[in-house]
Amino acid sequence: MSNAFHPFHALTAKANADYVQGLIDGIRSRDGNAFAAFYALTAEQVYRDFYRQLGSAYLVQDCVAKLYVLFVQAIGRIDTPAKAADALRHIEAKILDYVRTSGRDAPRDKRPRPTLSADVSEILLIDLLDRLKLPENTVPLEMIAAYDVYLKQKSTVLRWLIALAAAVLVIFPLLFVNPKGQLTRAGGVSPFTGRPAVTLTVNAVLPVRSVTAAVDGQAVPIMQESRNTYTLLPQKSGRLTVTVKTLGRGKCTESLQIGD
């Protein structure tokens, strides 16, 4: 039987591993607060999963309650976050299969209610603690839910930070790669100076930041022909020196004797 339900990423995220493991250990020790925290972390997804398949809030609430009862009954075989996530998906599939084969399908709500409201969530939790004969939770559900939201946000931020760090590790060495430049005498005489022009071709990993040129200390006009090609217009003979700088710390200097 294929599983129509989504994985429980909140349980298997590495950032939540210690927290979720502590909840599992707490449930195995029949800690009401641990169960309440686990419920707060997963109930919204469980509700959405069932509602997407059944479309009846009344029927879905029964399925949610049944799922957590079966989960706690099986807790002796569940000792890791990954096993907890797999168990929830397996129980979801079993309950859905039972509902459909037993003819318990109910008409879909005329006004869809695909999310679990805070009031209904609180009522379901109180009923579950009573049915499972677990101690009442001493930490309010809204505080637990707020902490779960924090964990999910922290996990998202952590993933972005890892991606950013990887990008920096890739880009940072490129900042120090020097470009390469090649100077060649252009054919003919420039109409601007009446002297032969010089072509500069740049080969660079990063974009060129600046190009400067001088003949024996006198600045030379530069025209950019394309992304990596420049035309230099020296106005006198001498040694032409060109400096190319790229974004970061990349730099190269090329020289060419021109004129007489």
Q: How confident is the model at residue 193 (pLDDT cuts 50, 70, 90)?
A: confident
Angle between helices 57-73 and 118-131 (to 10 degrees): 40
Residue 17 predicted with pLDDT over 70? yes
CB-count exposure of residue 260 (10 Å: 0-12, 13-18, 19+): exposed
Q: What's the CA gap between 65 and 45, in Å, rounded?
A: 13
> Does residue 28 contact residue 76 with C-beta atoms inside 8 Å?
yes
Beta pairing partners, 16: none
What's the confidence (pLDDT) of residue 43?
A: 92
The model's confidence at residue 13, banded by pLDDT at 50, 70 and 90, is: confident
Share of the chain above pLDDT 90, in %: 44
* Rounded Cα distance, 243 and 212, in Å: 5
Q: In terms of C-beta density within 10 A (0-12 exposed, 13-18 middle, 19 or more buried), how is residue 215 classed?
A: buried
- Please determine, for residue 150, whether its predicted confidence score (pLDDT) is greater than 50: no
Has residue 36 got a pLDDT over 60? yes
- Report which of residues 140 and 28 the model is more confident about: 28
For residue 246, list its beta bridge partners. Answer: 208
What confidence category does residue 152 fall into, taking pLDDT thresholds of 50, 70 and 90? low
pLDDT in tens, 85-142: 999 999 999 999 999 888 766 678 777 878 888 889 889 999 999 999 999 877 766 6
Average pLDDT for the chain:
86
Residue 136: DSSP 8-state:
P
CA Rg, the chain, in Å?
34
Nearest to 84 by CA among 163, 12, 152: 12
Dig out the tokens for 9 from the structure: 């990423």
For residues 246 and 179, give the distance between their C-alpha atoms in angstroms, rounded to a whole number. 7
In the chain, what are the domain boundaries?
9-169, 177-258
Q: What is the pLDDT of residue 1?
A: 44
Tell me the per-residue pLDDT of 56-92, one tens digit each, with 9 for 90 and over: 888 999 999 999 999 999 999 999 999 999 999 999 9
Mean pLDDT of 139-166: 64
| Contact between 65 and 128 (Cβ < 8 Å) | yes
Asked whether the CA dihedral 150, 13, 80, 97 is positive or negative, the reply is positive
pLDDT tens track for 225-244 = 898 899 999 988 899 999 99
223 pLDDT above the threshold of 80: yes
In the chain, the percentage of residues whose pLDDT exceeds 70 is 88
pLDDT reported for residue 175: 82
| pTM of the predicted structure, to 2 decimals | 0.55
Assigned architecture for domain 177-258? Sandwich (2.60)
* pLDDT at residue number 61: 93
For 204-208, what is the mean pLDDT? 90
Q: How many CA atoms lie within 13 A of 228 on its CB side?
A: 12
201: β partners: 182, 229
In this structure, the number of other CB atoms found within 10 A of the CB of residue 94 comes to: 14
Encoding tokens for residue 135? 């101690």
Mean pLDDT throughout 13-37? 89
Give the max Cα distance, the chain.
Answer: 101
